[in-house]
Amino acid sequence: MASQNLFIGSLAYATTDDTLKAFFEQIGEVASARVITDRDSGRSKGFGFVEFTDEANNQKAVDQLDGKELDGRAISVGLARPKEDRPQRDGGNDRGNGGGSFRQRSW
């Protein structure tokens, strides 16, 4: 089973993977820290994920770091939900419907 990640929200655009990892290492050893970036521009989307080597540190991090300031912004720290638990988003790319802005001529 995959280990539990922490979801980190309200990140400053200046926050990097390294600064995120260093901030959370005050709680315990960090296995990975990722700031999610826009695929096209490479700019931070303002959130990321942290994974501790010891999952017991997850709740400690939520209790101690939620609302604390990192790179000038108060961050939110919570347990990340697995992908299958997240609600589906409306208005996604429904490419299989044959519709879109291109209309076939009927003649």
What lies within 8 Å, CB to CB, of 22 at 6+ separation is: none
**CB-side neighbour CA atoms (13 Å) of 102:** 4
Answer with the residue of higher pLDDT: 61 or 101.
Answer: 61
Cα four-point dihedral sign 54, 2, 21, 63: negative
pLDDT one-digit tens code per residue, 43-74? 999 999 999 999 999 999 999 999 999 999 99
Instruction: Give me the pLDDT at residue 4, please.
Output: 84
> From CA 104, how far away is CA 107, in angstroms rounded?
9
Instruction: Give me the pLDDT at residue 99, please.
Output: 53
pTM summary value: 0.77
Q: Collapse the DSSP code of 18 into the 3-class scheme (helix H, G, I; strand E, B; otherwise coil) and give the result.
A: helix
Instruction: Give me the pLDDT at residue 90, please.
Output: 65
pLDDT one-digit tens code per residue, 87-99? 666 655 555 555 5
